[in-house]
Structure 1
């Protein structure tokens, strides 16, 4: 299986390692290519904020059978550019703000539905620890992503988002 991982040199490095061990052909799109830990992965070294360069690189490297995508809000068009180059499941990692009950509904899902037939969401939450809370570790995030991939989940919260007021 040809898998694209955007964010695979940071918090998703564990996902890259696991998929390589499972026999996937993994391509990592990286803004910081020097951080790629596993040389068995194919590298696309570019900044996804440059949507024209992103489109060209993915057109040459793709299409991909599936994707795991973590893109910061500083590149609002990049997730949609990536989706055009993925034939199968597209797991989109979203920060905990996507689960904020006070936030207005997003047109993101409708836009993806028009563009990609197999859009899935992974919401990054937090961990409650007694009277305090903390953000998820890279290992917890990778574990949650791998669980979603292996079980073909359409939407999953990794950690918790409730109670919202306990967010770190």
Structure 2
């Protein structure tokens, strides 16, 4: 049984949490609202595999403490799926540090927005040798010459596809990111 951490799992990545749990993986979900976690659990066959971590991820010390507790309870984290707002860069660095300190190989699927510069983000983050880092970039859909944001379901499905891709694919795009003027 794998231990997976999902950041952003009570919103647009809720179906990703369910997908992991329904495959009998332990899923730690960083959450602030108990109601949202309950909704995810009710839509999942393997409710007991979802472990909520109730913390504001901007509170770094509390976050690190809670992650270490989850590791003690559920085992080493083998995969992280992280949607972290661009103004909370220290959060992702902190998660990388805690998971890397396990001294075990792991994967990070970093979810980034459509306008993000994937190379610049990669350069900003320190990705240790025991981490396989991949990006999943969220785009948009063009329908009848107008662009629209992806739905939560489209996002989750695209993220799952990105996770299932071959290991040597550094960037997976969900929807499209060009042309940006649509």
TM-score norm. by structure 1 comes to 0.87
Does the CA contact (< 8 Å) of 1:26 and 1:42 recur in 2? yes
Equivalent position to 1:48, from 43, 57, 68: 57
1:82 equivalenced with 2:91 (yes/no): no
Equivalent position to 2:175, from 135, 144, 159: 159
Report SS of the residue matched to 1:35: helix
Q: Distance in 2 between matches of 1:133 and 1:54?
A: 36
Does the CA contact (< 8 Å) of 2:96 and 2:127 recur in 1? no
Q: Distance in 2 between matches of 1:146 and 1:107?
A: 21
Residue ranges of structure 2 left out of the alignment (5+ in a row): 42-46, 100-104
1:28 equivalenced with 2:42 (yes/no): no
Moved over 3 A (4+): 107-110
Report SS of the residue matched to 2:4: strand
2:19 corresponding residue in structure 1? 18
1:119 equivalenced with 2:120 (yes/no): no
Equivalent position to 1:95, from 92, 109, 113: 113
Report SS of the residue matched to 2:142: strand
Residue ranges of structure 1 left out of the alignment (5+ in a row): none
Once superposed, what is the RMSD of the aligned Cα atoms? 1.9
Does the CA contact (< 8 Å) of 1:83 and 1:116 recur in 2? no
1:69 equivalenced with 2:69 (yes/no): no
Q: Distance in 1 between matches of 2:67 and 2:148?
A: 35
Summarize the Cα distance change of 1:79–1:116 in structure 2 as closer, same or farther, 3 Å threshold: farther
